[in-house]
Copies of this chain bind each other. A is one copy, B any other.
Amino acid sequence: MKGNVIVGQSGGPTAVINSSLAGVYKTALERDFNKVYGMRYGIQGFIDEQYVDLSDYIKNELDLELLKRTPSAFLGTCRYKLPGIHEDKAIYERIFALLDKLDIEVFIYIGGNDSMDTIRKLSDYALLTGAKQKFVGCPKTIDNDLAITDHTPGFGSAAKYIATSTKEVICDALGFSYKKKNVNIIEIMGRNAGWLTGAAALSEGEDCQGPDLIYLPERPFDIDKFVNKVENLLKEKDVVVAVVSEGIRTAEGKYVCEFTSGSESVDAFGHIQMTGTAAYLADVVKQRLGCKTRAVELSTLQRSAAHLASKIDVDEAFAVGGATVKAADEGSTGVMVVIDRVSDDPYQSTTGVYDVHRIANDEKVVPSEWINEEGDYVTEEFLDYVRPLIQGHYNPMMVTGLPRHLSINQKDYHGLGWSRHIQKS
């Protein structure tokens, strides 16, 4: 009889992070592990003995399918950097005592760069002390900034949401363009890597003009040059759409969004106002060019819009989840599962494993040759890379008109009815 598996989720969530959790669960049961535990709020919660038995929540195949369609971290997540082994040995002793107590053989951590650092440290500690547990990382991040793997689960769905929303924003803007020009600025997540921002270009096609300008954080951003470009575009057309990363910086390295908070922007309470990159640029364009502007910030929706997840992404997230358990069961530790692209057209991919020491803390940005010379758009090669990852659609399971999710809190829900807040009038 095999022992148990424990799985945790860490860092910013994605639309498909729970599909990886479902993959871990299913493969662990298929490979005859005894129980599958879930850490609540990643390693941070686990240190406080916060964990659940996943069989209390995933009771059948329908639950498993719902889990694949549930956004954000089902188990809860954390942003917690494990101290080095020599900095705080006690915390490692505590973690491994807990792992022994729960008879854990396999430890899976679903996350990004910081999470792979956790896998590295725990597997190193296990090797140093001769502990039996295997530690395997499962890649996840909408930012697509993990090294070695062709791409990360979560990226494709966020890219699909961004491209779809960009199309819809452009439709909206074009409708209002008669005898008044308008400039629309869409702000996308990804502080240092422009993968998601570039994905907005996928909106261009037979039925959509696409954005006019795309600014990735990989290149310095020049506010005056940007305003001049918008001004020139407005001479030719009525609707201008620019897509910017939240992380664009000037040549001096100052974030564009810092311009506002660094200024005398103080409200009635004497508090400094924070505003986003797009809101700031929309204001600059409005003031300098005198045209109507609109800033659209996709905010957390771009990482949690499971209702528009890409099928390729959901399936790959599920596959890499399963591959982590397989890798551990076959003896690997201190590794992360990676996705290898076998071909572009037809798109095919497989999973592999890779030494986590080679991956941790190494941020993958968009290659310079995939950004155009002007630094205001992505190239065809960029789009050829991204396009396969947004393909296909998982229909949400609709209940009373809304996508149904699996909720770890649902055991607390008391039957039908809408009693908590709502009163009869």
Q: Supply 28 A–B pairs (Cβ within 8 Å), ascending by A.
A: A44-B178, A71-B172, A72-B168, A77-B175, A160-B402, A163-B401, A167-B403, A168-B304, A168-B307, A169-B301, A172-B303, A205-B418, A206-B407, A206-B410, A207-B406, A207-B407, A269-B287, A274-B279, A275-B275, A296-B299, A307-B308, A372-B425, A373-B423, A377-B421, A379-B423, A390-B401, A390-B402, A391-B401
A300 contacts chain B at the CB level, 8 A cutoff: yes
Give the residues in chain B near A225, CB-CB below 8 Å.
none
Q: Complex: how many Å from CA A305 to CA B161?
A: 11
Residue numbers of A with Cβ under 8 A of B are 9, 13, 40-41, 44-45, 50, 70-73, 76-78, 160, 163-165, 167-169, 171-179, 201-210, 212, 259-260, 262-269, 271, 273-275, 279-280, 283-284, 287, 294, 296-297, 299-301, 303-308, 310, 369-370, 372-373, 377-381, 383, 387, 390-393, 395-396, 398-407, 409-410, 413, 416, 418, 420-425
**The one of B173, B297, B306 that contacts A168, using a Cβ cutoff of 8 Å:** B306
> Nearest B residue to A390 by beta-carbon distance?
B401
**8 shortest A-B CB distances, which residue pairs?**
A41-B178, A72-B171, A390-B401, A73-B175, A168-B304, A379-B425, A207-B407, A172-B304
Residues on B with C-beta less than 8 A from A174 are 72, 76, 409
CA–CA, A251 and B45, complex, Å: 44
Between A77, A163, A206, A391, the greatest number of chain B beta carbons within 10 A of the residue's beta carbon is seen for: A206
Shortest beta-carbon distance from A184 to chain B in Å: 8
> In whole angstroms, what is the CA distance A2 to B203 when docked?
41
Would B425 and A370 count as touching, CB distance under 8 A? Answer: yes
B residues less than 8 Å from A404 (CB atoms): 207
Give, as a whole number of angstroms, the nearest-CB distance from A230 to chain B: 15
Instruction: Point out the residues of chain B lying under 8 angstroms from A259, CB to CB.
Output: 267-268
Q: Do the beta carbons of B424 and A164 come within 8 Å of each other?
A: no
Partner of A177, one of B76, B167, B268: B76
Contacts A178-B40, A420-B204 given: A265-B266 contact, CB under 8 Å? Answer: yes
Task: Find out whether the CB atom of B400 lies under 8 angstroms from the CB atom of A391.
Answer: yes
Q: Name A305's closest neighbour in chain B (CB-CB).
A: B168
A302 to B266, CA, bound (A): 30
The answer to whether B395 touches A395, judged by C-beta atoms less than 8 angstroms apart, is: yes
| A425, B409: Cα distance in complex, Å | 50
Contact of A273 among B72, B167, B283 (CB under 8 A): B283
Q: Is the CB of B284 within 8 A of A271?
A: yes
Is B398 in contact with A393, judged by CB distance below 8 angstroms? yes
Q: Nearest-CB distance from A401 to chain B (Å)?
A: 4
Q: Which residue of chain B is the closest to A421 with respect to CB atoms?
A: B377
A283 and B267 contact, CB distance less than 8 A: yes
The distance in angstroms between the C-alpha atoms of A70 and B296, with both chains bound, is 20
What 15 new A-B contacts, CB under 8 Å, besides A168-B301, A259-B268?
A: A50-B178, A71-B168, A76-B178, A77-B176, A172-B303, A265-B267, A273-B279, A273-B283, A296-B300, A372-B422, A377-B422, A379-B422, A387-B401, A392-B398, A392-B401
